[in-house]
Amino acid sequence: MGGRSGGESPDSDAARNDGPDPAEGGPADPAEGDRPGRSGRRPGRSGAKEKILAAARARFAENGFDKTSIRAVATDAGVDPALVHHYFGTKQQLFTAAIQLPFDPEATLRTILGVPKDELGKTILREVVGIWDSPAGPGVIASFRSMLASGDLSLARTFVLEVVLERVRLRIATPEDDGRARVALVASQTMGVLVARKLVGVEPLASMPLPALVAAVGPTLQRYLTGPLELVGEDVESERPRDR
């Protein structure tokens, strides 16, 4: 990401020399109007930011989080990778902007990953439901409703399994169990709670205090993550009743 690519946008030079454009929501540069000899477009005037977001949504939806690179997004948007970093920072921050989340999932992940392994279940539920219960909650709900209404669930699936729960999976994985089924069960349980509590309004779950909810459901998540988990796979046929 250090060199210039052949498809570099004129915006990238401006991006390296100036701060964020006030029109893009960044702070104004007080010296902007006093610099002699400045010409051309200021950052964001060409719609580069919107092109980057559109390219990122398409890439993340098609390839997932891990297989999408900043360089690939920049190429699709016709800009230099430096401009992507200028506007959005890291790949995770780009993903957060692409799906329009009103919170930083990295901060939540730091809290979740900072607890002992036997407290993961309760912590995951407390942190995730806590976000939905917070002032940021309506924005989160709107983002997920938008993803679900679009009919393309790949972005929602990528966010849950590759961004939120992948590092949890790596923490609980063993040579005998990669943890994928475990985090999928956690995802299904957590999303079920969120839908019942916030979208459908099932009582008394919808108005249950968060500590009571965590105490009731957290142990189930913990069992999914680290407890005994008997998965029926290749032995399904042998366990079916046979005709006598």
What percentage of the chain exceeds 70 in pLDDT? 73
From the number of C-beta atoms within 10 Å of its C-beta (0-12, 13-18, 19+), residue 145 rates as exposed
Q: How far apart are CA 103 and CA 85, in angstroms?
A: 19
90-118 tens-digit pLDDT: 888 888 888 777 677 788 888 999 999 99
For residue 108 the two structure tokens come to 């939540």
Is the pLDDT assigned to residue 190 strictly greater than 60? Answer: yes
Mean of all residue pLDDT scores within the chain: 77
Question: What b-and-e string marks burial along 168-180, b requiring 16 or more CB atoms within 10 Å of the CB?
Answer: bbeebeeeeeebe
Helix axes 91-98, 70-77, angle to 10 degrees: 50
Cis peptide bond prior to 27, omega within 30° of 0: no
Contact assessment for residue 45 and residue 21, using Cβ atoms and an 8 Å cutoff: yes
Confidence of residue 65 (pLDDT cuts 50, 70, 90): confident
Cross-strand partners of 177: 174
State whether the Cα torsion 57-198-213-181 is positive or negative. Answer: negative
Taking only Cα atoms into account, the Rg of the chain, rounded to an integer number of angstroms, comes to 22
Interacting residues of 140 by C-beta distance below 8 A, sequence separation 6+? 101, 102, 103, 131, 132
Q: What is the per-residue DSSP string for 96-162?
A: HHHTT-SS-HHHHHHHHHTS-GGGHHHHHHHHHHHHHHSTTHHHHHHHHHHHHHTS--HHHHHIIII
| CA torsion through residues 224, 229, 230, 232, sign | positive
User: At residue 37, does pLDDT exceed 70?
Assistant: no
Query: Using CA atoms, how far apart are residues 187 and 203, in angstroms rounded to an integer?
Result: 21
Bigger pLDDT: 9 vs 109 = 109
pLDDT tens digits, residue range 130-176?
Answer: 988 888 888 777 777 776 676 667 777 777 777 788 889 999 999 99
Average pLDDT of the residues in 15-25 = 40
Whole-angstrom distance, CA of residue 112 vs CA of residue 106: 10
What is the pLDDT, as a whole number, of residue 3? 42
Q: Span 175-183, mean pLDDT?
A: 94
